[in-house]
Each structure stands twice: as C-alpha cells, then as structure tokens.
Structure 1
Amino acid sequence: MQKILSLYVRNYDSDRLVRDEVVPGSEWVLAGEGVATRKWDGTSCLVRSGELWWRYDAKKGRTPPEGFQPAQAPDPVTGHHPGWLPVGEGPDDAYHREAWAAAGQALPDGTYELIGPKVQGNPEGVPTHRLVPHGQDTLPDAPREYAALRAYLEARPDMEGIVWHHPDGRMVKLKRKDFFGSRRR
C-alpha cells in the first residue's frame, strides 16, 4: 500500500493542522469522484496469496529487515519508504496472528486494518484483535467541502477519519486530528 495523499495541505511551519487548500492530486475528491469510507485507527496489513503481511516504513536512514517488499520508491521529501513484511512467529506478530486466526477462514487478497485491545491503545474500543477490510464501511453522507468536513468529523469523535477510494485505485485521506490536533476522543 502506497502512502496515501491527504486531502488538504498541512501547516508544517506552525500548528501542523490542515488549511482550506487542496493537496495537488487530490482535487478529484472535491469534484465528487470516488467513494468515502471510514478510516479505522489501527495498523495496516496486506493479505496476498493466503499470507498475512504487516506494514513497515523504512524511514530515512533505516535499513529494511530481511523479507521487506517495498510498496513504492522512497519519498524524496519525507523519506518514507512503506512496504510489507511477512507476519512471523515472533512476539511482535502475536496480535496479527490472533486476528488472522479469528478470521476463521482464508481472507481475500487486499489490504486490511488490524484493530484491537493492544493496537494503538485501542482507540476503536474493540474487545478482540481483528482485521477490517479497507474500504468496507462506506460513508454516503460524508461531505466534500472543508468546513462541512470539519463539522462532520467533529460530530464523530469515535472515527479516525475518511479515505476516499477512486475507481482507478487512487486514494485520498483526511483524519480527524488534521483539524483538531492529536487530542484523543
């Protein structure tokens, strides 16, 4: 899974919040293209050919571990280099394995979000570890204008954000904290 563009430009030189200026390449969202879906607050995973992989970012200066499969070339500006590592038998992969077993069947190829009690502090408040398919939960009532999106996310403190999926595979995201900072729900 490649790094997903944000919908709005961030104020990197001050409060790090977004302003009413669209990131180049994200204009299609405001043009009404694509489907809005819920962004879950967990960690990204990949199912490919019946195997589970977890997302690893070989940030600037980090050497990717053995088995790393890049999802894209390193970003020359941020240094992010996202890719995938196979889920193994080590303790760091325990929650991935638990969610995989809980699925009870072979999951279709695609990307998923691992959520659960030991993932990111469990902001989703779920009792067990599970894999949620990306793009599954559509938000037909999600607006597409800056002020309306701010109000929409403010009224939904239980939701991390929105990801728009274009039919051609492009994606754009907007997180609640982009408007309000990192304050928790």
Structure 2
Amino acid sequence: MTEGRGRGRPRKDADALARWTPPEGWSRLVAWVSPEEKKALKHVAVEAGVSVADLVRSLAAGLTAGVVSAEELVGQVVKGRHVMEKIPTLFERDDRFKVVDRPRAECAWVFDGAGVGTEKLDGTNTRLTTRAGHLVRVEKRRNPGKDHKARGIVDGWYVDTDPSAADDKWILAAAHNTDVSAWPDGEHSCEALGPRIQGNPLGLDDHFCLPFDLQAPRYPEVPRTFEGLRGYLSTLDSRFAPGHLAEGIVFHHPDGRRAKIKRKDFA
C-alpha cells in the first residue's frame, strides 16, 4: 500500500475477487459517466441484484443472444444522446444519429441569418472569475440530471472546482496556466483545453482556458444551409490550431441562444 494513502471501502468478497481472472479473449471496457448517470446505473444494478459491471455485461449478452434487438437499443441511445446535448444541433437526426436536411425549429434563427458563428472547441466548459488581472475563482459547468428536470430545472449552472478532486485536476491546470492579466474584471465562460482534456483533438501542447467573450475564433461568413455547411466543415482549418480541422461551428444569438453543428454530425 502506498504510504499515506487511506484504506478504501473493503470488498464483500475480496479473496474471490483477487482469484478471478477474465476468460481468454475478453477485454475491459471503460467509460466516463456523470455522477447522476453513475447513480442511475447503480440504482438499476441494485434492483437487479448485480454489480454495475454485470449489468453492462448482461446488456451485451442480451444483444449477442438476440434477446435485446439492435433497433430497440439504438432507439434508447438516440433518446439519451438528445438528453445529453447541451446546445441544440442545427438539424434533426436519423436512426444512425447523423444529421439530415431538416432544420430544428428551435434553431430557425440561424437560418434567418441571425447571430455569429464561432469555432467549436472540444474541451470542458468552465468559468473563470477575475479581479484586477488576477484569477480569483474557477468553476465548472454542471448539467441538470433527471431529478432536476422533473422539477423544471432544465438549464445548466456552474459549481466551484475542488483542488482535491481528481476530476478537476486538469481544469485547474488549464485555469492556472492561462494569462488573465489583461482580462476585464468579471466572470468569463471558457473552454478548458489541453493534452489531458477530451482527447486533445487539436493536438495542443499545453493546458489553458479560452474565453468565449474575448478570444473565440469567429467565422462571419459561415454557410447556413445543409449542403453548404457539410462542404464548409469538411475542409475548415482550425484558426486556433492550424493544421487541424475545426470540430465544428457554434452560432451565438445576441439574446444568448446558441446552436451547433459538428463535422462528424454529417454522414
């Protein structure tokens, strides 16, 4: 045991766990989930009397045996992906979760020519508060879970990061590596980017935060049709990391509404 590390919660059957080895050819599957999603998985697992790992494996076994059809599962995945979307995508999606030439009603303002396009950056949404050129607060976005939505809470909010939390390590690294000396006093919504955040699709060498209100690359002449956007994004070079394709475009309305489209959204 590493010195100074406290004891964790004991396993119910530690000896059995230590003796168990996976069958030949098996592989381990790891996924990141939110606290709300983890709680929901654990709740179902408890109801079924199994571990979360066995719950996931049962689903895979059901697919393999044909007990659960791919069509049924895809339908639930599509519903879940729509819940996960924090900013609406410009177009409706098909059963493969690719966009089709059918604009979403709530995004009509984009096709009417309102708002401005900025480069979509694949990082972690954060908020930095500055005073006199100094960083005084670092927050991360929290999105409503099922219980919140049942109470009518549909918009996300920001919560303070925790220096002792492993989940916040790279957000804080990005924040403290960002030069805020010339930023005006106030709260600045940012995207935390870097080698250990979201797979680093832009190939960045350092962690830092990009403030949307001060530095987000703008694209004033973005096409606003299905075919126009598909062709435009297929070759759009990132202004922030030349040599890498931009992930997509986020349209910002003056009243605060946003809408997005990503290159990989297209079939």
TM-score range, shorter chain: 0.7 to 0.9
Higher relative contact order (CA 8 A, sep 6+): 1
Instruction: Find the residue that maps to 1:126 and give its secondary structure.
Output: coil
SS in 2 for 1:6: coil
1:133-160 deviation line (CA, Å, top 9, x unaligned): 2262101231111101000111136211
- 1:159 aligned residue: 246
Q: 1:75 to 1:118 in 2, by over 3 A?
A: farther
- CA contact under 8 A between 1:60 and 1:80: conserved in structure 2? no
Is 2:52 aligned against 1:6?
no
Structure in which a larger fraction of residues adopt strand: 1
**Deviation for aligned residue 1:176:** 1.4
- Match of residue 102 from structure 2: 21
Does 1:128 find its partner at 2:206?
A: yes
Identify the match of residue 262 of structure 2 among 166, 175, 178. 175
1:103–1:5 Cα change, 3 Å: same
Normalised by the length of structure 1, the TM-score is: 0.78
Worse-superposed segment, 15-24 or 80-89: 80-89
Give the partner amino acid of 1:102. N
Matched, 1:57 2:143: yes
2:178, 2:161 → 1: CA distance? 15
CA RMSD, Structure 1 to Structure 2 (Å): 2.5
1:103 aligns with 2:186: no
Runs of 4+ in 1 over 4 A off after TM superposition: none
Structure with greater helix percent: 2
**Which of 214, 229, 238 is equivalent to 1:149?**
229
Aligned length: 164
Q: How does 1:37-76 map to 2 (within 5 A)?
A: 37-48=118-129, 50-60=136-146, 74=149
Instruction: State how far apart, in whole Å, the 2-side matches of 1:149 and 1:75 are.
Output: 36
Tell me the SS of whatever aligns to 1:25. helix
Q: What percent identity do the matched residue pairs reach?
A: 33
CA drift at 1:6: 1.4
Decide which structure has the larger Cα Rg and report it: 2
- Residue 231 of structure 2 aligns to a residue whose secondary structure is helix
Q: How many Å separate the matches in 2 of 1:34 and 1:45?
A: 22
Distance in structure 2 (CA, Å) of the matches to 1:85 and 1:104: 22
Structure 1 portions without partners, runs of 5+: 62-72, 181-185
Which stretch of the first structure deviates more once superposed, 162-171 or 131-140?
A: 131-140
- Say whether the 8 Å CA contact 1:59–1:81 is kept in structure 2: no
TM-score by length of 2: 0.56
- Aligned partner of 1:66 in structure 2 is none
Shift, 1:40, TM fit: 0.2
2: distance between equivalents of 1:162 and 1:74?
Answer: 27
Structure 2, unpaired ranges of 5+ = 1-84, 131-135, 237-243
Contact 2:127/2:187 (CA < 8 Å) preserved in 1? yes
